[in-house]
Amino acid sequence: MVGAGGDGIVTMADVLSQAAARDGLNVLKTEAYGPQIRGGESSSVVRLSGDPIYESGDGADVLVVFSWADFSRFKGECTPARNAVVLSDEADPVARTPEDLGLSADAVWIKLPFGKLSTDSGAKGSKNLVGLGVLTALFGLPEGTLRRAIVSRFGRKKAAVGEMALKAFEAGLLLGQTLPPMPERRLAFTPGPAKLIMSGNEATAIGALHAGCRYFAGYPITPSTEILMFLDEWLPKMGGSLVQTEDELSAIGAVLGASFAGEKAMTATSGPGLSLMTEMLGLASMAELPCVVVNVQRGGPSTGLPTKSEQSDLFQAVFAGHGDMPRVVLACSDVEDSFHTTVDAFNIAEEYQIPVIVLSDQLVAGRRETFDPASLVHEVRERRLPSAEELTDYHRYKETPDGVSPMARPGVKGGIYQTNGLEHDEEGSPGSGFLLHEEMNAKRYRKLRPIRDAHTFHRRYGPEDAEIGILCWGSSKGAVREAVRHANERGQKVAAFVPQMIYPFPKKELEAFLKGVKQILVVELSYSAQFYKYLRTFLDLPAERTHVYKRSGGKNLTVAEVDAEIVALLAGERVQERVSA
């Protein structure tokens, strides 16, 4: 669906998604906007299915365009399938041809009076609802549920507004019924119990609340701001506090202060903000202060592409910081995963007193997906507090086998200590001797081992005896998983390995996956191939059978791209692109 600002594209997609989720369909909805603050072109892709879906799909089966001028601004981001049904406004002065849309002979193009019908129905400016009516009639969408979705959306404050909106929908429905039916294109599904539908950012925020986070400090930055706004609404209702700070330095500083004081605390940011927080993450690592930093990646470097997705903050998350600075990096690969990854991040941060970075990205964070409400169950773990006995002779940084020392909460008599970013001894007193530094570095790094042993987060798709093994991470999972399914359906032995724990890395699990794999394909949205290079820091990837498919972000990874790589690899036709240093 594409239109100008005011055409109601976002609402149209929302109502459709809500109705589909209500009837138990699987939904995946993405949105894209122009750079304007308000108004301007917008587009939304909604994919619906009774079967599981993992990404947006490559070409739209149905394309609704209210304005071709706006459509052309989303070049390459919103394309119809070759045999698509295209519905456009007959009043649009811009002429387009099936050829320039890449349509084949079996495509159907219908020009309809969306604008006129909307005005005639009495609900002026409701071509989006007229459009929904047409779609419902043509493709067998759940008519009753859509009606209720419209009333719920528009009639909440004033019943008359809801009735007016329904008129536009009914007008579209009637129009749709006069069009030649397309029985083979109708949506086949059986209604089921209502699913949850939310964005990755919302799932992350809910994960934080579930984990017990009651303190958030943050600075607005696209595409992470939704987390701040969501928690601003809910934290005070749960007895928690949120402070919008003057900058990211202050945000992470306040998070560490709250953590020192005994609260579970989090901040959320995007690439430039994470850069600013880096020094403070070093303090968290040194002073062993639990904290969670969610980094919703966007195109970089610098201001880059604030509203588009990319996977190019991997190096920053894993390596940034001066000194030897243990931290944990997790990645979420879909919406439901964003909930679980965030809870895991808190569990690890609190249990091991270490900073945890959660790498999300604009694609996962901004899209809305359905899932089963019952899946939001996750164990919550707490930090280790000193026992009464330990408090009789308390040493904050006491050497322990796993490197984790009990952490006293201010207010507890006997728990007094002074922490700092200087190297320090077991008591926390500053020291700059070599032996002390070596011992304390070892203590802090020792924590990574039990973390690594206890958590081997990764996903694996495809047959055990795969010949082609695809390695990817984060939001690339969607397209890769679907491509693997296609390949397997074609009888091709292709599997994929998706780590969710990026640092420390589930190396043993990856080595087991690679056993027997003849060709390795690394897939990522980073121009300089950060993931491939990162893997090579601890894994020998033989050059002659390792292939890298990488490109800049700015456009989501498509199944077709991964499909094409698999086909070329199997045919022995893939030319290895040189990855520069």
Partner 1 sequence: MSEAATLPEFKPSDYKTDLKPVWCAGCGDFGVLTGLYRALTELQVKPWETVVVSGIGCSSRLPGYVDTFGVNSLHGRALPLAAGVKVARPDLTVIAVGGDGDGLAIGGNHFLHAARRNLDVSYILMDNEIYGLTKGQAAPTTPAGDKTKSTHYGNPEPAVDPCELAISVGATWVGRAFSGDLKGTVELMVKALRHKGFAFLNVMSPCVTWRGDDQFKSLKAKQRQLPENHDASSRAAALVYTRESEIVTTGVLFDVSEPTLLDRLATVKVNALAGKPQSTVADIIKSFQPSF
Site for partner 1 in 386-415 (CB under 8 A): 410-415
- How many binding residues for partner 1 (CB under 8 A)? 69
Strand order in the sheet with 196-199: 108-112, 80-89, 60-65, 2-3, 42-49, 26-33, 368-371, 196-199
Of the pair 38, 413, the CB lying nearest partner 1 is at: 413
* Cβ proximity to partner 1, 152 vs 488, nearer residue: 152
- Of 476, 456, 457, whose CA–CA distance to 529 is shortest? 476
Residue 3 CB, nearest approach to partner 1 (Å): 24
Out of 249, 448, 541, 570, the residue judged to bind partner 1 by CB under 8 A = 249
**In 432-558, which residue ranges form alpha helices assigned H by DSSP?**
434-446, 448-454, 477-489, 507-514, 530-536
Based on the shown chain and the rule CB under 8 A, indicate whether residue 383 belongs to the binding site for partner 1.
no
Q: Is 191 in the site for partner 1 (CB under 8 A)?
A: no
**Amino acid letter at 428?**
G
Could you tell me the smallest distance in angstroms from the CB atom of residue 406 to partner 1? 15
User: Out of 12, 28, 63, 198, which residue is the one contacting partner 1 (CB under 8 A)?
Assistant: 198
Closest to 12 measured CA to CA, from 112, 136, 111: 136
Going by DSSP bridges, is the β-strand pair 328-331/355-361 parallel, antiparallel, or unpaired?
Answer: parallel
Say which residue the tokens 């080595």 belong to.
511
How would you classify the pairing of strands 60-65 and 80-89? parallel
355-361 sheet: strands from edge to edge: 241-244, 215-218, 265-269, 291-297, 355-361, 328-331, 501-503
Q: With binding defined as CB under 8 A, does residue 432 bind partner 1?
A: no
**Before 450, cis peptide (omega within 30)?**
no
266 near partner 1 (CB under 8 A): no
Should residue 256 be labelled a site residue for partner 1 when binding is judged by CB under 8 A?
yes
Report, in Å, the least distance between residue 392 CB and partner 1: 14
Please tell me whether residue 260 binds partner 1 under the rule CB under 8 A: yes
Q: Is 378 in the site for partner 1 (CB under 8 A)?
A: no
Q: Which of 209, 330, 495, 522 binds partner 1 (CB under 8 A)?
A: 209
Q: In the complex with partner 1, which residue's Cβ is closer, 63 or 277?
A: 277
According to CB under 8 A, which one of 9, 168, 287, 466 is a site residue for partner 1?
287
Shortest Å distance, C-beta 228 to partner 1: 14
Contact between 246 and partner 1 by CB under 8 A: the answer reads yes
Report, in Å, the least distance between residue 343 CB and partner 1. 11
**Cβ contacts of 223 within 8 Å, gap of 6 or more:** 201, 270, 296, 298, 306, 307, 362, 365, 366
Cα-based distances in Å from 115 to 43, 111, 151, 401? 18, 11, 21, 71
CB of residue 290 to partner 1, shortest distance in Å? 13
Distance, in Å, from the CA atom of 333 to the CA atom of 503, rounded to the nearest integer, reads 15
The residue within the footprint of partner 1, chosen from 202, 337, 361, 482 (CB under 8 A), is 202
**Residue 532: CA atoms inside 13 Å, Cβ hemisphere, count?**
25
* Residue with token string 């045919």: 571
Pattern 534-563, partner 1, x by CB under 8 A: ------------------------------
| Interface with partner 1, residue 157, by CB under 8 A | no
Residues lying near partner 1 in the complex (CB under 8 A): 18-19, 21-22, 145, 148-149, 151-152, 194-198, 202, 206, 209-210, 214-215, 217, 233-234, 236-239, 241, 243, 245-247, 249-263, 265, 279-280, 283, 287, 373, 376, 410-422, 429-430
